[in-house]
Amino acid sequence: MPNYPTPHIKATPQDFAKTVLMPGDPLRAKFIAENFLENVTQVNSVRNMLGFTGIYKGKPVSVMGSGMGMPSIGIYSYELYNFFDVENIIRVGTAGGLSEKVKIRDVVIGMGACTNSNFVKQFHLPGDFAPTASWELLEPCASLAKEMKLSCKIGNVLSSDVFYGDDEALPPELRSNALWAKMGVLAVEMESAALYMNAARAGKKALGIFTVSDHLITGESTTAEERQNSFTDMMQLALETALAVE
């Protein structure tokens, strides 16, 4: 008995390319397919988690929403890696800036993903696992970012389970964002650590690329137009990385 279709993805392994780009928002996936890919077919619509496969510069590439948070991307990435023969997942998302080195509109590449989630507990490890991006994706992505002259920072991000925290009663220096920033963490988002762990466990490859939509320490945020421009930069970077990898 094949493991597909699943309760979340009604498709076959042939429907997906070896590389899947994953924005959080399924309508973002549709936008990417319509604006960056050719010969697009829709491959999933279960729970409106839209997925598409098309061609980028002659090579098949898929794009599918991940939903928000580690449980959601945990489900979709597990199924894509283990049941749909996907080799590479590149998350493309937004993140909130934490480090002073990161400016809004920057592109951040998540070399590592710290987390406050318990997702790792399922692996019963006798120590602390360090969720990291795959070098095979990170290396071409970093070179391409340099070639494209993007304002780009590469380092740790935080994959948080909490968007609306309850830190206000604490003194500023003890608030979660400040503590992670003190450790050099560049930005916060909510998915990459689960993606990196699932990739590691499945022997597959993963990378997270983000645009900085707001800054949690300086309070700056981007306009809709700025968000669109940095989104386009990030997408070109992700798609060229997809071309560069097996």
Residue facing ligand HPA at closest CB distance = 96
CB of 61 to ligand HPA, least distance (A): 24
CB of 160 to ligand HPA, least distance (A): 6
Question: Which residue, 68 or 202, is less far from ligand HPA as judged by CB?
Answer: 68
CB of 246 to ligand HPA, least distance (A): 30
Given the residues 25, 161, 167, 214, the one annotated as active site: 214
Q: At what angle do helices 70-83 and 192-202 cross, to 10 degrees?
A: 20
Question: Which residue, 213 or 230, is less far from ligand HPA as judged by CB?
Answer: 213
Question: Which residue, 222 or 241, is less far from ligand HPA as judged by CB?
Answer: 222
Question: Which residue, 12 or 116, is less far from ligand HPA as judged by CB?
Answer: 116
Catalytic residue flag (residue 214): yes
Token pair, residue 24, equals 């959080």
Please give the residue ranges that form the binding site for ligand HPA (CB under 6 A). 94-96, 160, 163, 188-190, 213-214, 216
Distance of CA 175 to the CA centre of its chain: 25
Q: State how far the Cα of 239 lies from the Cα of 220, in Å rounded to an integer.
A: 28
CB of 216 to ligand HPA, least distance (A): 6
Question: Which residue, 53 or 211, is less far from ligand HPA as judged by CB?
Answer: 211
To which residue do tokens 């480090």 refer?
99
Token pair, residue 150, equals 């993007």
CB of 35 to ligand HPA, least distance (A): 22
Provide the annotated active-site residues: 214
